[in-house]
Amino acid sequence: MNSMEEKVLSVLDKELSNAEIRNTTHLSIDEVKKAIRELRKKGKICSYGSTSAQKHMRLATAIEKLFKQVGGLDYRIRNIEQKTKLL
């Protein structure tokens, strides 16, 4: 992994757009795009959203976020099930 990729990866503890990565790392937008492409190929990050509003984050952070969301949904479903049993 080259230094541009390391720099970009180091700021992706939360989801960021290309512009936010550029502002945080002080890399050029072309360097950010190239690093994002390479990190995505290597399976280090994931991206979502439309091209103009795309966000990026470390794959590990994305998986952790998904587990939290699934846990929250599971909790809500159990509450709904309990309430419907009471009716």
Q: What percent of the chain has pLDDT over 90?
A: 59
Q: Domain tally for the chain?
A: 1
Q: If you compute the radius of gyration of the chain from its CA atoms, what whole number of angstroms results?
A: 18
| Helix, strand, coil abundance in the chain, percent, nearest 5 | 70, 10, 20
User: What is the reported pLDDT for 87?
Assistant: 66
Q: Which domain holds residue 70?
A: 3-86
User: What is the reported pLDDT for 16?
Assistant: 96
24: CATH: 1.10.10.10
SS3 assignment for 21-79:
HHHHHCCCHHHHHHHHHHHHHCCCEEEECCHHHCEEEEHHHHHHHHHHHHHHHHHHHHH
Q: Is the pTM of this model over 0.85?
A: no
Q: Higher-confidence residue: 25 or 68?
A: 25
Distance CA 23, CA 44 (A): 21
What is the average pLDDT score of the chain? 91
User: What is the reported pLDDT for 57?
Assistant: 95
User: What is the reported pLDDT for 81?
Assistant: 87
The closest alpha carbon to 18, from 47, 50, 55, belongs to 55
pLDDT in tens, 18-55: 999 999 999 999 999 999 999 999 999 999 988 778 99
